[in-house]
Amino acid sequence: MFRISINEMTFSCGPKVNVLQVARTQMVKVPYGCANGGCGMCKVKVKDGAYLLDTYSKQALTNEEREDHYVLLCKTYPQSDIEIELIKEKVIE
């Protein structure tokens, strides 16, 4: 199990479950839409840590964004502890 930090919330997530799925079960408020890699609503920035990124729509996440460490929570599988930053315009109160 890896430690996932999103803003001030921390929870554990295994390498075979996507971060969005676990965040929702832990009641962590994160933006999401389709939960299938198509809409980009769950786009966040990984500040630190290793992860695998599963198949997603290029319209939801560009190559440039990916190079800048942006990911889709619904397609992100942790490979170490991860620190995640929500995109300011998508912060949920």
How many C-beta atoms surround the C-beta of residue 80 within 10 A? 11
Q: Give the pLDDT score at 88.
A: 72
Q: Judge contact between 65 and 44, C-beta under 8 A.
A: no
- DSSP-assigned beta bridge partners for residue 90: none
Average pLDDT value over all residues in the chain: 93
Which residue ranges form the domains of the chain, and what is each CATH number?
2-87 (3.10.20.30)
Q: Is the pTM of this model over 0.85?
A: yes
Q: What is the pLDDT of residues 32-51, one digit of tens each?
A: 999 999 999 999 999 999 99
What is the pLDDT averaged over residues 69-91? 90
Q: Is 37 exposed, middle or buried (0-12, 13-18, 19+ CB in 10 A)?
A: buried
Nearest-angstrom CA–CA distance, 28 and 13: 13
Structure tokens at 63: 């190559």
